[in-house]
Amino acid sequence: KGCYLVLAQSTLFGRCLTGLEAQQLAQGPTHLHRRLKRGWIWKQLFVPEEDPTSRVIGQLRSDSDRGERSIKYILSGEGAGDVFVIDEYTGEIRTLKKLDREEKASYVLQAQAINRRTNEPEEPQSEFIIKVQDINDNIPQFQNEPYVSSIPEMSPTGTTVARVTATDADDPVFGNNAKLIYSILQGEPYFSVEPKTGIIVTSWPNMDREARDQYLVVVQVKDMLGLSDGHSSSTTVTVSLTDVNDNGPTFQHHLYAFAIPEDAAVGTTVGRIMAEDGDIGINAQMTYSLEDDLEESSTFIIKTDTVTQEGVILLAKALDFETKRRFVMAAEAVNDQPDTRFLLLEEFRDRTTLKIVVEDVDEPPVFLSPTYEWKVPENVAVGTAVGSVSAIDSDTVNKSDTTKAFKVDPINGTITVTKALDRETSNWHNLTVENHLSSSVVVFIKVLDINDNVPRLARDYQPYICEGTQLIQLLSAVDPDEPAEGHHFYFSMVPEKHINPNFTLRDNQDNTIKINLSSLKIEKHKKKT
Protein backbone atom coordinates (compact mmCIF):
# COMPACT_ATOMS: atom_id res chain seq x y z
CA LYS A 1 0.00 0.00 0.00
CA GLY A 2 0.99 3.67 -0.30
CA CYS A 3 -0.14 6.72 1.64
CA TYR A 4 -1.12 10.13 0.40
CA LEU A 5 -2.42 13.42 1.82
CA VAL A 6 -5.24 15.41 0.30
CA LEU A 7 -5.68 19.15 0.97
CA ALA A 8 -9.34 20.07 0.56
CA GLN A 9 -11.07 23.19 1.84
CA SER A 10 -8.13 23.99 4.09
CA THR A 11 -8.52 20.61 5.82
CA LEU A 12 -5.79 18.01 5.80
CA PHE A 13 -6.92 14.41 5.22
CA GLY A 14 -4.90 11.20 5.26
CA ARG A 15 -5.48 8.08 3.17
CA CYS A 16 -3.65 4.75 2.74
CA LEU A 17 -3.67 3.33 -0.84
CA THR A 18 -2.64 0.15 -2.55
CA GLY A 19 0.28 0.24 -4.90
CA LEU A 20 -2.10 0.40 -7.88
CA GLU A 21 -3.95 3.36 -6.40
CA ALA A 22 -0.66 5.17 -5.82
CA GLN A 23 0.29 4.55 -9.46
CA GLN A 24 -3.06 5.87 -10.64
CA LEU A 25 -2.64 8.96 -8.41
CA ALA A 26 0.70 9.65 -10.03
CA GLN A 27 -0.91 9.54 -13.46
CA GLY A 28 -3.32 12.33 -12.66
CA PRO A 29 -6.31 13.39 -10.61
CA THR A 30 -8.81 11.87 -13.13
CA HIS A 31 -8.13 8.43 -11.68
CA LEU A 32 -8.92 9.27 -8.03
CA HIS A 33 -12.61 8.32 -8.33
CA ARG A 34 -11.64 4.66 -8.56
CA ARG A 35 -11.32 2.91 -5.18
CA LEU A 36 -9.96 -0.55 -5.11
CA LYS A 37 -10.08 -0.90 -1.30
CA ARG A 38 -11.70 0.93 1.54
CA GLY A 39 -9.60 2.99 4.03
CA TRP A 40 -9.60 5.49 6.88
CA ILE A 41 -10.42 9.13 6.38
CA TRP A 42 -9.50 11.53 9.23
CA LYS A 43 -8.71 15.09 9.87
CA GLN A 44 -5.32 16.07 11.31
CA LEU A 45 -6.10 16.36 15.05
CA PHE A 46 -4.98 19.29 17.22
CA VAL A 47 -6.20 20.46 20.59
CA PRO A 48 -5.25 23.86 22.09
CA GLU A 49 -3.77 23.67 25.57
CA GLU A 50 -5.35 25.25 28.62
CA ASP A 51 -8.89 25.08 27.13
CA PRO A 52 -11.25 23.92 29.90
CA THR A 53 -14.23 23.51 27.53
CA SER A 54 -15.14 20.00 26.34
CA ARG A 55 -15.23 20.22 22.56
CA VAL A 56 -14.99 18.18 19.39
CA ILE A 57 -11.44 18.30 18.07
CA GLY A 58 -11.74 16.00 15.05
CA GLN A 59 -13.36 12.99 13.46
CA LEU A 60 -12.30 9.49 12.41
CA ARG A 61 -14.35 7.86 9.66
CA SER A 62 -14.15 4.86 7.41
CA ASP A 63 -14.82 5.57 3.73
CA SER A 64 -17.37 2.77 3.85
CA ASP A 65 -19.46 4.68 6.33
CA ARG A 66 -22.65 5.83 4.56
CA GLY A 67 -24.18 7.47 7.62
CA GLU A 68 -26.38 4.48 8.41
CA ARG A 69 -24.78 3.97 11.79
CA SER A 70 -23.77 0.50 10.77
CA ILE A 71 -20.20 1.03 11.91
CA LYS A 72 -19.02 1.25 15.51
CA TYR A 73 -15.91 3.35 16.27
CA ILE A 74 -13.66 2.38 19.14
CA LEU A 75 -10.77 4.49 20.61
CA SER A 76 -7.80 3.16 22.66
CA GLY A 77 -4.30 4.30 23.62
CA GLU A 78 -2.91 7.31 25.55
CA GLY A 79 -5.66 9.33 27.25
CA ALA A 80 -8.53 7.24 25.79
CA GLY A 81 -11.54 7.38 28.08
CA ASP A 82 -10.23 9.99 30.52
CA VAL A 83 -8.78 12.67 28.26
CA PHE A 84 -10.42 11.86 24.94
CA VAL A 85 -13.67 10.11 24.04
CA ILE A 86 -15.03 9.06 20.60
CA ASP A 87 -18.62 9.03 19.42
CA GLU A 88 -19.07 5.38 18.45
CA TYR A 89 -21.54 6.29 15.69
CA THR A 90 -19.98 9.38 14.08
CA GLY A 91 -16.29 8.96 14.97
CA GLU A 92 -16.10 12.47 16.45
CA ILE A 93 -13.41 12.83 19.09
CA ARG A 94 -14.09 15.10 22.05
CA THR A 95 -11.84 16.38 24.86
CA LEU A 96 -12.84 15.71 28.45
CA LYS A 97 -10.51 18.11 30.30
CA LYS A 98 -7.96 20.89 29.98
CA LEU A 99 -4.54 19.92 28.62
CA ASP A 100 -1.07 21.34 29.23
CA ARG A 101 1.43 21.13 26.40
CA GLU A 102 4.35 21.70 28.77
CA GLU A 103 3.22 18.60 30.69
CA LYS A 104 2.49 16.43 27.61
CA ALA A 105 2.80 17.64 24.04
CA SER A 106 1.12 14.75 22.12
CA TYR A 107 -0.93 11.59 22.57
CA VAL A 108 -0.66 8.38 20.53
CA LEU A 109 -4.04 6.56 20.09
CA GLN A 110 -5.48 3.66 18.11
CA ALA A 111 -8.86 3.56 16.29
CA GLN A 112 -11.07 0.65 15.21
CA ALA A 113 -14.14 0.52 12.92
CA ILE A 114 -16.39 -2.55 13.61
CA ASN A 115 -19.33 -3.62 11.47
CA ARG A 116 -22.26 -3.76 13.83
CA ARG A 117 -24.00 -6.55 11.87
CA THR A 118 -21.08 -8.89 11.40
CA ASN A 119 -18.98 -7.67 14.33
CA GLU A 120 -16.04 -7.83 11.96
CA PRO A 121 -13.47 -5.03 11.46
CA GLU A 122 -14.60 -2.73 8.75
CA GLU A 123 -11.07 -1.25 8.64
CA PRO A 124 -7.79 -2.52 10.09
CA GLN A 125 -6.78 -0.88 13.42
CA SER A 126 -4.95 2.40 12.74
CA GLU A 127 -2.66 4.56 14.91
CA PHE A 128 -2.88 8.32 14.94
CA ILE A 129 -1.53 11.26 16.99
CA ILE A 130 -3.33 14.10 18.73
CA LYS A 131 -1.04 17.08 19.19
CA VAL A 132 -1.50 19.64 21.97
CA GLN A 133 -1.24 23.04 20.40
CA ASP A 134 0.90 25.62 22.27
CA ILE A 135 -0.39 28.93 23.55
CA ASN A 136 1.75 31.68 25.09
CA ASP A 137 1.12 30.76 28.72
CA ASN A 138 4.66 30.87 30.10
CA ILE A 139 6.74 33.84 31.21
CA PRO A 140 10.41 33.80 30.23
CA GLN A 141 12.73 33.24 33.19
CA PHE A 142 16.34 34.35 33.67
CA GLN A 143 18.83 31.64 34.60
CA ASN A 144 21.86 31.76 36.95
CA GLU A 145 20.82 34.85 38.88
CA PRO A 146 22.13 37.04 40.42
CA TYR A 147 24.38 38.51 37.75
CA VAL A 148 27.58 40.19 38.97
CA SER A 149 30.35 41.35 36.68
CA SER A 150 33.38 43.62 36.64
CA ILE A 151 35.39 45.33 33.94
CA PRO A 152 38.45 47.60 34.10
CA GLU A 153 37.73 51.30 34.12
CA MET A 154 38.57 53.16 30.89
CA SER A 155 37.52 50.10 28.86
CA PRO A 156 36.82 50.85 25.19
CA THR A 157 33.30 50.89 23.76
CA GLY A 158 32.05 47.42 22.90
CA THR A 159 33.81 45.64 25.77
CA THR A 160 31.80 42.58 26.81
CA VAL A 161 30.44 42.95 30.31
CA ALA A 162 28.28 39.85 30.84
CA ARG A 163 25.74 37.60 29.16
CA VAL A 164 22.25 37.09 30.55
CA THR A 165 20.26 34.01 29.57
CA ALA A 166 16.52 33.43 29.78
CA THR A 167 14.39 30.42 28.88
CA ASP A 168 10.71 30.07 27.92
CA ALA A 169 8.78 26.85 28.52
CA ASP A 170 6.54 27.45 25.48
CA ASP A 171 6.98 25.59 22.17
CA PRO A 172 10.14 26.91 20.49
CA VAL A 173 9.01 25.77 17.00
CA PHE A 174 5.37 26.82 17.07
CA GLY A 175 4.83 30.49 16.38
CA ASN A 176 6.72 33.13 18.38
CA ASN A 177 5.67 32.09 21.85
CA ALA A 178 9.26 31.22 22.84
CA LYS A 179 11.07 33.69 20.59
CA LEU A 180 12.91 35.97 23.05
CA ILE A 181 14.21 39.52 22.67
CA TYR A 182 16.47 41.33 25.20
CA SER A 183 16.49 45.06 25.88
CA ILE A 184 17.92 47.57 28.42
CA LEU A 185 15.52 49.12 30.92
CA GLN A 186 18.19 50.83 33.03
CA GLY A 187 21.84 51.45 32.35
CA GLU A 188 21.86 53.48 29.17
CA PRO A 189 23.82 55.22 27.74
CA TYR A 190 26.67 53.38 29.45
CA PHE A 191 25.64 49.87 28.44
CA SER A 192 23.65 48.14 25.71
CA VAL A 193 22.49 44.57 25.11
CA GLU A 194 22.47 42.46 21.95
CA PRO A 195 18.73 41.73 21.44
CA LYS A 196 19.00 38.05 20.46
CA THR A 197 22.00 36.85 22.51
CA GLY A 198 21.66 38.80 25.75
CA ILE A 199 25.31 39.90 25.62
CA ILE A 200 25.82 43.20 27.49
CA VAL A 201 28.56 45.51 26.20
CA THR A 202 29.86 48.97 27.08
CA SER A 203 28.48 51.81 24.99
CA TRP A 204 30.20 54.72 26.74
CA PRO A 205 33.94 55.32 26.39
CA ASN A 206 36.39 55.92 29.25
CA MET A 207 34.19 55.24 32.24
CA ASP A 208 36.15 56.49 35.27
CA ARG A 209 36.14 54.45 38.49
CA GLU A 210 37.20 57.48 40.50
CA ALA A 211 33.99 59.23 39.39
CA ARG A 212 31.69 56.19 39.75
CA ASP A 213 32.67 52.63 40.53
CA GLN A 214 29.42 50.67 40.22
CA TYR A 215 26.41 50.48 37.89
CA LEU A 216 23.11 48.60 38.09
CA VAL A 217 22.00 47.46 34.64
CA VAL A 218 18.39 46.26 34.36
CA VAL A 219 17.77 43.94 31.41
CA GLN A 220 14.30 42.92 30.18
CA VAL A 221 13.49 39.78 28.20
CA LYS A 222 10.22 39.50 26.26
CA ASP A 223 8.72 36.65 24.23
CA MET A 224 6.67 36.96 21.02
CA LEU A 225 9.72 38.71 19.52
CA GLY A 226 9.06 41.67 21.75
CA LEU A 227 5.45 42.29 20.64
CA SER A 228 3.28 44.24 23.02
CA ASP A 229 1.08 41.26 23.94
CA GLY A 230 4.05 39.09 24.94
CA HIS A 231 5.21 38.15 28.41
CA SER A 232 8.31 39.70 29.96
CA SER A 233 10.59 39.58 33.00
CA SER A 234 13.69 41.47 34.09
CA THR A 235 16.96 40.97 35.95
CA THR A 236 19.63 43.24 37.39
CA VAL A 237 23.30 43.00 36.53
CA THR A 238 25.70 44.61 39.03
CA VAL A 239 28.69 45.95 37.12
CA SER A 240 31.77 47.11 39.04
CA LEU A 241 34.67 49.04 37.57
CA THR A 242 38.06 47.73 38.66
CA ASP A 243 40.94 50.14 39.12
CA VAL A 244 43.69 50.86 36.60
CA ASN A 245 46.65 53.15 37.22
CA ASP A 246 45.33 56.23 35.47
CA ASN A 247 46.26 58.69 38.24
CA GLY A 248 49.64 59.88 39.43
CA PRO A 249 50.58 61.04 42.96
CA THR A 250 49.97 64.72 43.70
CA PHE A 251 51.11 66.70 46.74
CA GLN A 252 48.43 69.04 48.05
CA HIS A 253 51.00 71.60 49.26
CA HIS A 254 54.13 73.00 47.69
CA LEU A 255 55.79 73.40 51.11
CA TYR A 256 55.60 71.31 54.28
CA ALA A 257 57.09 72.82 57.48
CA PHE A 258 58.08 70.89 60.60
CA ALA A 259 59.91 71.64 63.86
CA ILE A 260 62.03 69.30 65.97
CA PRO A 261 63.96 69.93 69.23
CA GLU A 262 67.71 69.70 68.98
CA ASP A 263 67.88 66.96 71.63
CA ALA A 264 65.54 64.60 69.70
CA ALA A 265 66.86 61.05 69.53
CA VAL A 266 67.92 59.49 66.23
CA GLY A 267 64.91 57.71 64.74
CA THR A 268 62.41 60.31 65.99
CA THR A 269 59.53 60.94 63.57
CA VAL A 270 59.78 64.52 62.32
CA GLY A 271 56.48 64.51 60.43
CA ARG A 272 54.40 62.92 57.67
CA ILE A 273 53.62 64.03 54.14
CA MET A 274 51.06 62.61 51.75
CA ALA A 275 50.81 62.59 47.97
CA GLU A 276 47.19 62.00 47.00
CA ASP A 277 46.48 59.26 44.43
CA GLY A 278 42.96 58.58 43.19
CA ASP A 279 43.76 54.94 42.51
CA ILE A 280 43.54 52.09 45.01
CA GLY A 281 45.48 48.96 45.88
CA ILE A 282 48.71 48.32 44.04
CA ASN A 283 48.02 51.23 41.69
CA ALA A 284 48.20 53.66 44.63
CA GLN A 285 51.45 52.33 46.06
CA MET A 286 54.31 54.81 45.93
CA THR A 287 57.85 55.33 47.14
CA TYR A 288 59.07 58.56 48.74
CA SER A 289 62.63 59.87 48.55
CA LEU A 290 64.60 62.94 49.56
CA GLU A 291 66.73 64.95 47.19
CA ASP A 292 70.22 63.43 46.80
CA ASP A 293 73.69 65.00 47.13
CA LEU A 294 72.73 67.37 49.94
CA GLU A 295 73.63 67.39 53.61
CA GLU A 296 69.93 67.39 54.44
CA SER A 297 69.52 63.96 52.90
CA SER A 298 71.99 62.43 55.32
CA THR A 299 70.46 64.14 58.37
CA PHE A 300 66.94 62.92 57.58
CA ILE A 301 65.47 59.89 55.81
CA ILE A 302 61.96 59.19 54.54
CA LYS A 303 60.10 55.90 54.48
CA THR A 304 56.72 54.88 53.03
CA ASP A 305 53.98 53.82 55.43
CA THR A 306 52.61 50.80 53.54
CA VAL A 307 49.22 51.09 55.24
CA THR A 308 48.47 54.79 54.72
CA GLN A 309 50.87 55.42 51.80
CA GLU A 310 52.27 58.42 53.69
CA GLY A 311 55.89 59.49 53.65
CA VAL A 312 57.32 59.32 57.19
CA ILE A 313 60.28 61.66 57.79
CA LEU A 314 62.75 60.34 60.39
CA LEU A 315 65.79 61.87 62.08
CA ALA A 316 68.95 60.04 60.95
CA LYS A 317 71.63 62.10 62.73
CA ALA A 318 71.90 64.05 65.98
CA LEU A 319 71.00 67.75 65.74
CA ASP A 320 72.77 70.81 67.16
CA PHE A 321 70.92 74.09 67.22
CA GLU A 322 74.17 76.03 67.59
CA THR A 323 75.56 74.42 64.40
CA LYS A 324 72.52 74.34 62.04
CA ARG A 325 69.08 75.68 62.74
CA ARG A 326 67.13 75.05 59.53
CA PHE A 327 67.02 72.38 56.82
CA VAL A 328 65.37 72.80 53.40
CA MET A 329 65.11 69.86 51.00
CA ALA A 330 62.98 68.40 48.21
CA ALA A 331 60.81 65.27 48.61
CA GLU A 332 59.52 63.18 45.72
CA ALA A 333 56.73 60.58 45.45
CA VAL A 334 56.79 58.04 42.58
CA ASN A 335 54.18 55.40 41.69
CA ASP A 336 55.51 51.87 42.01
CA GLN A 337 53.46 50.52 39.06
CA PRO A 338 53.22 53.17 36.31
CA ASP A 339 51.05 52.32 33.28
CA THR A 340 51.94 54.33 30.21
CA ARG A 341 48.69 53.35 28.48
CA PHE A 342 47.00 56.07 30.49
CA LEU A 343 49.66 58.65 31.47
CA LEU A 344 53.13 59.68 30.46
CA LEU A 345 55.90 58.30 32.65
CA GLU A 346 56.71 61.70 34.19
CA GLU A 347 53.08 62.07 35.28
CA PHE A 348 53.53 59.24 37.76
CA ARG A 349 55.71 61.39 40.06
CA ASP A 350 55.44 64.67 41.98
CA ARG A 351 57.73 66.83 44.15
CA THR A 352 57.34 69.14 47.12
CA THR A 353 59.61 71.11 49.48
CA LEU A 354 60.33 70.30 53.13
CA LYS A 355 61.41 72.91 55.68
CA ILE A 356 62.58 71.59 59.05
CA VAL A 357 63.37 74.03 61.87
CA VAL A 358 65.58 72.95 64.79
CA GLU A 359 64.33 74.21 68.16
CA ASP A 360 66.82 75.31 70.82
CA VAL A 361 66.90 73.36 74.06
CA ASP A 362 68.36 74.65 77.37
CA GLU A 363 71.10 72.06 77.61
CA PRO A 364 72.46 70.86 80.99
CA PRO A 365 76.04 71.78 82.01
CA VAL A 366 78.83 69.35 81.31
CA PHE A 367 81.08 68.65 84.31
CA LEU A 368 84.80 68.70 83.60
CA SER A 369 85.32 65.34 85.25
CA PRO A 370 83.01 62.32 85.26
CA THR A 371 83.69 61.78 89.00
CA TYR A 372 85.58 63.52 91.83
CA GLU A 373 87.49 61.87 94.70
CA TRP A 374 89.09 63.77 97.60
CA LYS A 375 90.69 62.91 100.95
CA VAL A 376 90.32 64.88 104.16
CA PRO A 377 91.62 64.26 107.75
CA GLU A 378 88.97 63.42 110.24
CA ASN A 379 90.00 66.23 112.55
CA VAL A 380 89.59 68.91 109.88
CA ALA A 381 87.88 72.07 111.11
CA VAL A 382 84.27 72.84 110.25
CA GLY A 383 84.13 75.19 107.25
CA THR A 384 87.27 73.80 105.64
CA ALA A 385 87.01 73.64 101.84
CA VAL A 386 87.44 70.08 100.61
CA GLY A 387 87.40 70.74 96.86
CA SER A 388 85.41 72.29 94.01
CA VAL A 389 83.39 70.78 91.11
CA SER A 390 83.44 72.60 87.77
CA ALA A 391 81.03 72.56 84.84
CA ILE A 392 80.94 74.32 81.46
CA ASP A 393 77.55 75.82 82.34
CA SER A 394 77.41 77.87 85.54
CA ASP A 395 73.82 77.01 86.39
CA THR A 396 72.83 76.61 90.04
CA VAL A 397 74.01 73.35 91.60
CA ASN A 398 72.59 71.25 94.42
CA LYS A 399 73.98 68.33 96.36
CA SER A 400 72.70 65.06 97.72
CA ASP A 401 74.51 63.96 100.89
CA THR A 402 72.78 61.64 103.36
CA THR A 403 75.25 62.47 106.18
CA LYS A 404 74.75 66.24 105.77
CA ALA A 405 78.45 66.70 106.57
CA PHE A 406 79.18 68.83 103.49
CA LYS A 407 77.62 71.63 101.49
CA VAL A 408 78.10 72.90 97.94
CA ASP A 409 78.43 76.52 96.97
CA PRO A 410 75.77 76.98 94.23
CA ILE A 411 77.89 79.57 92.46
CA ASN A 412 81.42 78.18 92.32
CA GLY A 413 80.83 74.52 93.24
CA THR A 414 83.12 74.59 96.32
CA ILE A 415 82.41 71.79 98.79
CA THR A 416 83.07 72.56 102.51
CA VAL A 417 82.79 70.62 105.76
CA THR A 418 79.67 71.45 107.81
CA LYS A 419 80.26 69.30 110.91
CA ALA A 420 83.05 67.43 112.68
CA LEU A 421 84.13 64.25 110.94
CA ASP A 422 84.88 60.93 112.60
CA ARG A 423 86.57 58.28 110.53
CA GLU A 424 85.58 55.60 113.00
CA THR A 425 81.89 56.47 112.41
CA SER A 426 81.99 56.98 108.62
CA ASN A 427 85.18 56.71 106.61
CA TRP A 428 83.61 57.51 103.15
CA HIS A 429 81.10 60.15 102.08
CA ASN A 430 79.38 59.91 98.67
CA LEU A 431 77.84 63.12 97.29
CA THR A 432 75.88 63.73 94.11
CA VAL A 433 76.19 67.26 92.76
CA GLU A 434 73.51 68.09 90.21
CA ASN A 435 72.21 70.96 88.13
CA HIS A 436 68.57 72.06 87.85
CA LEU A 437 68.60 70.56 84.32
CA SER A 438 69.45 67.13 85.78
CA SER A 439 73.13 67.09 84.84
CA SER A 440 75.02 65.47 87.75
CA VAL A 441 78.43 64.26 88.96
CA VAL A 442 79.41 61.97 91.84
CA VAL A 443 81.93 63.12 94.51
CA PHE A 444 83.71 60.60 96.79
CA ILE A 445 85.32 61.97 100.01
CA LYS A 446 87.53 59.69 102.06
CA VAL A 447 88.07 60.59 105.75
CA LEU A 448 91.71 59.97 106.76
CA ASP A 449 92.55 58.53 110.18
CA ILE A 450 94.42 60.30 113.03
CA ASN A 451 95.49 58.73 116.33
CA ASP A 452 92.58 60.01 118.34
CA ASN A 453 91.69 56.80 120.19
CA VAL A 454 93.49 55.01 123.09
CA PRO A 455 94.01 51.26 123.05
CA ARG A 456 92.00 49.12 125.43
CA LEU A 457 91.69 45.54 126.38
CA ALA A 458 89.63 43.55 123.94
CA ARG A 459 87.14 42.69 126.72
CA ASP A 460 86.66 42.72 130.43
CA TYR A 461 88.87 39.92 131.72
CA GLN A 462 88.20 38.13 135.05
CA PRO A 463 90.94 35.50 135.29
CA TYR A 464 91.22 32.70 137.85
CA ILE A 465 93.78 29.95 138.53
CA CYS A 466 93.58 26.31 139.46
CA GLU A 467 96.20 24.40 141.40
CA GLY A 468 98.85 22.87 139.30
CA THR A 469 98.62 25.53 136.57
CA GLN A 470 101.06 28.25 135.67
CA LEU A 471 99.22 30.23 132.91
CA ILE A 472 96.53 32.35 134.34
CA GLN A 473 95.18 34.35 131.32
CA LEU A 474 95.90 35.37 127.71
CA LEU A 475 94.95 39.02 127.06
CA SER A 476 94.68 41.07 123.86
CA ALA A 477 94.07 44.76 123.09
CA VAL A 478 92.26 46.77 120.36
CA ASP A 479 92.44 50.35 119.01
CA PRO A 480 89.73 51.95 116.72
CA ASP A 481 92.39 53.92 114.88
CA GLU A 482 93.96 52.64 111.68
CA PRO A 483 97.76 53.23 111.57
CA ALA A 484 99.40 52.86 108.21
CA GLU A 485 101.52 49.83 109.27
CA GLY A 486 99.12 48.30 111.75
CA HIS A 487 98.98 48.46 115.57
CA HIS A 488 101.77 47.40 117.99
CA PHE A 489 100.78 47.45 121.61
CA TYR A 490 103.12 47.53 124.63
CA PHE A 491 101.95 45.97 127.93
CA SER A 492 103.28 46.63 131.49
CA MET A 493 102.27 46.58 135.07
CA VAL A 494 100.92 49.89 136.27
CA PRO A 495 103.69 51.27 138.46
CA GLU A 496 101.44 53.35 140.60
CA LYS A 497 99.49 50.27 141.60
CA HIS A 498 100.72 47.60 144.05
CA ILE A 499 102.50 45.00 142.04
CA ASN A 500 102.09 41.44 143.23
CA PRO A 501 105.42 39.69 142.76
CA ASN A 502 103.71 36.36 142.26
CA PHE A 503 102.58 37.37 138.71
CA THR A 504 104.60 38.16 135.64
CA LEU A 505 103.69 39.41 132.15
CA ARG A 506 105.01 37.91 128.92
CA ASP A 507 104.61 39.90 125.63
CA ASN A 508 103.86 37.54 122.74
CA GLN A 509 104.77 40.26 120.15
CA ASP A 510 101.36 39.82 118.45
CA ASN A 511 99.42 42.34 120.51
CA THR A 512 98.70 39.70 123.16
CA ILE A 513 100.31 38.93 126.59
CA LYS A 514 100.34 36.02 128.98
CA ILE A 515 99.88 36.41 132.75
CA ASN A 516 101.92 33.68 134.45
CA LEU A 517 102.19 32.54 138.06
CA SER A 518 105.81 33.11 139.08
CA SER A 519 106.06 31.55 142.62
CA LEU A 520 103.18 30.69 144.83
CA LYS A 521 102.89 27.99 147.40
CA ILE A 522 99.57 26.28 147.11
CA GLU A 523 98.61 23.57 149.44
CA LYS A 524 97.80 20.37 147.75
CA HIS A 525 94.11 19.88 147.04
CA LYS A 526 93.49 23.49 147.94
CA LYS A 527 92.56 25.91 145.21
CA LYS A 528 93.38 29.57 145.43
CA THR A 529 91.84 32.23 143.21
The mean pLDDT value for 387-406 works out to 63
The reported pLDDT for the residue numbered 491 is 79
The reported pLDDT for the residue numbered 485 is 62
- Name which residue leads in pLDDT, 76 or 35: 76
Torsion of the alpha carbons at 47, 48, 54 and 58, rounded to the nearest 10: -30
At residue 461, does pLDDT exceed 70? yes
At residue 402, does pLDDT exceed 60? no
The reported pLDDT for the residue numbered 342 is 94
Q: How confident is the model at residue 25 (pLDDT cuts 50, 70, 90)?
A: very low
At residue 493, does pLDDT exceed 80? no
Q: Is 81 exposed, middle or buried (0-12, 13-18, 19+ CB in 10 A)?
A: exposed
User: Can you give the three-state secondary structure of 429-492, one letter per residue?
Assistant: EEEEEEECCCCEEEEEEEEECCCCCCCEECCCCCCCCCCCCCEEEEEEEECCCCCCCCCCCCCC
Of how many residues is the chain composed? 529
At residue 526, does pLDDT exceed 70? no
At residue 31, does pLDDT exceed 60? no
At residue 464, does pLDDT exceed 80? no
- Name which residue leads in pLDDT, 381 or 315: 315
Q: Do domains 141-242 and 250-359 have the same CATH topology?
A: yes
CATH code for the structural domain at 366-448: 2.60.40.60
At residue 5, does pLDDT exceed 50? no
In 116-268, which ranges are E strands?
A: 121-133, 141-142, 147-152, 160-163, 166-167, 181-186, 191-193, 199-202, 214-222, 232-242, 250-251, 255-261
The reported pLDDT for the residue numbered 446 is 78
* Whole-number Å distance between alpha carbons of 254 and 379: 74
Q: How confident is the model at residue 346 (pLDDT cuts 50, 70, 90)?
A: very high
* Whole-number Å distance between alpha carbons of 255 and 252: 9
Q: How confident is the model at residue 281 (pLDDT cuts 50, 70, 90)?
A: very high
- Name which residue leads in pLDDT, 265 or 22: 265
CB 507 within 8 A of CB 515: no
Over the stretch 154-167, which tens digit does the pLDDT of each residue have?
999 999 999 999 99
Q: How confident is the model at residue 21 (pLDDT cuts 50, 70, 90)?
A: very low
Over the stretch 421-442, which tens digit does the pLDDT of each residue have?
877 778 778 778 776 656 677 8
Q: Which architecture, in CATH terms, is 141-242?
A: Sandwich (2.60)
What's the predicted TM-score (pTM) here? Answer: 0.57
Question: According to the per-residue pLDDT averaged within each range, which of 12-21, 232-241, 438-447, 471-480 is highest?
Answer: 232-241
At residue 492, does pLDDT exceed 90? no
At residue 75, does pLDDT exceed 50? yes
Pairing of strands 300-304, 255-261: unpaired
The mean predicted confidence, pLDDT, of the chain is 82
CB 218 within 8 A of CB 184: yes
CB 352 within 8 A of CB 271: no
Decide yes or no: CATH 2.60.40.60 for domain 250-359.
Answer: yes
- Name which residue leads in pLDDT, 351 or 24: 351
Pairing of strands 84-86, 92-95: antiparallel
Over the stretch 171-230, which tens digit does the pLDDT of each residue have?
998 889 999 999 999 999 999 999 999 999 999 999 999 999 999 999 999 999 989 889
Domain spans, the chain: 3-8+40-133, 141-242, 250-359, 366-448, 454-528
Decide yes or no: CATH 2.60.40.60 for domain 3-8+40-133.
Answer: yes
Q: How confident is the model at residue 350 (pLDDT cuts 50, 70, 90)?
A: very high
At residue 322, does pLDDT exceed 90? no
Map residue 8 onto helix, strand or coil: strand
Question: According to the per-residue pLDDT averaged within each range, which of 157-166, 317-326, 353-362, 437-446 is highest?
Answer: 157-166
Over the stretch 90-127, which tens digit does the pLDDT of each residue have?
999 999 999 999 999 999 999 999 999 999 998 889 89
- Name which residue leads in pLDDT, 44 or 159: 159
The mean pLDDT value for 4-20 works out to 33
The reported pLDDT for the residue numbered 364 is 64
The mean pLDDT value for 481-488 works out to 71
